[in-house]
Amino acid sequence: MSNQKNILIYLEDKNLQTEIYSLFKQTLIYSPTIFEEIKIENKYINIENYDCLICDNKFVYFLEYLDKDVLIKHESHLLVYIISEYQIDFSDKFYSSIIFVHKRLPIYFRDFVNSIEKNLQLLNNKKNKKILIGDLIFYPYYKKIVNKNELEKIIKLTDKENSIIEYLSKEENFVVSKDVLLKEVWGYNEFVDTHTLETHIYKLRRKIEVDHKKPRYLMNEEGGYKLNFN
C-alpha cells in the first residue's frame, strides 16, 4: 500500500526482532524491514525511506550507517523507539533530527503500535503547520518562509530566527518585550544581551522584508517587537 509507514527494525535480541517484525507484517498500515536484510549502497542508509526505527542498545552501532552531515541538515525528523533498560545520552547536536521514545520490556504490541501511530501523527501535524503573516507563509517545522507573491522563492531561517518568528506568532499583533524574547529564545545566558537580539532582528528583516528599513511584517514597538498579520 502506498500509504504504509515504513518501519526499520534493528534489535540485538533476534527472537524479539523476529516477533516484532511478524506482528507489524500482519498490520495494514506498517511495512517492516529488518536491518540485516538491507543492502546498503554507498555505506549510508537513506533515512528518508523510513518513518520509524525500532532499536535497542545496538543503536550506538547503527550510527555508523547514518551520514551525520545529512542527518543534522535533514528537515524530516526520524522517530526512533529505543527498547532498553539503559538510558543513552542524546545531547549531541547529531541527534537534533531524531525524536527518541524509550520503551522497557515487556512490550505490549497494541500499546506499542498505538504509541507509534500517535507520535507519527503528532510529527505529521508539526510538518503541516503553517502560519500566515500578511503575504508571508511561515512553516516553523521546516524553518522557512515564502511570500504569496513569490512562491518560488524560499527564505531559509536559522534556528534562532525561526524561534523568534514562532514565538512572536503566538498571539496576533501582540507586543513581546526584548527581555521576554531573549529569555524564550536564548534561555538564561549571561553572555547574551539585547544587542544580540537586535542583530538577529536586523538580519531577519533583511530576509523577509521588501525594504528592511521600512518593515511591514516585523515591527518595532516600545520596548519590544510584534508581527503585523494584516
Q: What is the pLDDT of residues 48-95, one digit of tens each?
A: 788 999 998 878 778 777 766 666 555 557 789 999 877 766 655 556
Domain ranges of the chain: 5-128, 131-227
Residue 114, CA atoms < 13 Å, CB-side half-sphere: 5
Q: Do domains 5-128 and 131-227 have the same CATH topology?
A: no
Which superfamily does 5-128 belong to? Response regulator (3.40.50.2300)
Average pLDDT over residues 197-201: 95
CATH fold, domain 131-227, is Arc Repressor Mutant, subunit A (1.10.10)
What DSSP character marks residue 153?
Answer: E
Residue 220, CA atoms < 13 Å, CB-side half-sphere: 9
- pLDDT of 1 reads 44
